[in-house]
Amino acid sequence: MPIAPRLLGFLFVFLAALCWSAGNILIKFVMNAGVPPDQYVGFRTILAFLSVLTVMAAVSPRQLKIARRDLPYLASYGVVVWALAPIIGTWSIKLNPVSVAVILLYTSPLFTLAWSITVGRERVRVYEIVAALVAIAGLALLSGAHDSADATLTWLGLTAGLLSGLGLSFVTIFGKRGIVHHGPWTILTYGLGFASIIWIASGTAVDFAVGQHAPSVWLAVVGAAILTAILPVWFYLLGLRLISAPEANVTAILEPLLTTGFAFVLLSEHLDTPQLAGACILLTAIAYLQVRGGTMDAAKQGESRPS
């Protein structure tokens, strides 16, 4: 029996979150090795671009053909998603406690909801708003932001954090817009390509390339490029074809939960009771989003059938 399109969409987004979370473990290894974040992000982006371009040129060159009118969108996608957003996210982590930075980053569903209401053509439903708020509340517990000793915040840190959330929402907003007209590999290839121009111009990617790194660091960067810049974006764009932008963005909050799970299993990191409660709340929000949306879609299909 084939998987329903809606369930398949959630599965694709889950796979994207799974890839991102696994990649986060590799990123942590690279950062612990002393690699500056901007050098890592720049080199990873260029490596991912060259990899995708090589594969697409050999396997499906037709997907690389675009119209000139598509260039502004693809350039904007690449610069915002692959260049500006990582820079802002790095500053948020630098200016805020990690737990606070995570919360502010995942305010992204609220920005996506606001875009869907004011600019986009998608109808926002009440259950999507409820699921987003509940998921963020669960994430607050999971990240440890409930600990007042770790929740100091400055105006500059707050601004950087909210901008990081806005940047993350553009992954959904730009992706939802582009997937209507382009295949996911086309968006991915050109997006990474335009971002690579920015990173080459900055010189940070070159700094990493000429640096002295252990073989394990090179392997981790290659793995991170696959797990954070190629596969998850492909899965996420496929998911956006089948579910709404707010649903995809809320489901993507599974990433920090899965990352915490990997850290618990692989790095023996401790989870306290509030974190476990946060994980349960977050999973409940995702389940509610899926079940409630599926019920409403089924009811709508039943009403549209002739009696």
* CA angle (162 as vertex; 158, 163 as ends), nearest 5: 115
The predicted pLDDT at position 73 comes to 92
Tell me the C-alpha distance between 5 and 160, whole Å: 37
The predicted pLDDT at position 1 comes to 38
- Kindly list the averaged pLDDT for each block of 10 residues, start to end, along the chain of length 307: 75 93 84 87 94 93 90 92 86 76 86 84 81 88 65 79 89 88 92 94 91 93 92 93 89 86 70 83 88 71 54
The predicted pLDDT at position 192 comes to 95
The predicted pLDDT at position 301 comes to 60
The predicted pLDDT at position 275 comes to 81
What residue spans define the domains of the chain? 5-295
Tell me the C-alpha distance between 145 and 56, whole Å: 43
The predicted pLDDT at position 5 comes to 80
- pTM (2 decimals)? 0.86
The predicted pLDDT at position 7 comes to 86
The predicted pLDDT at position 289 comes to 85
The predicted pLDDT at position 97 comes to 75
Long-range contacts, 115-119 (Cβ 8 Å, 24+):
115/169, 115/173, 115/245, 116/244, 116/245, 116/246
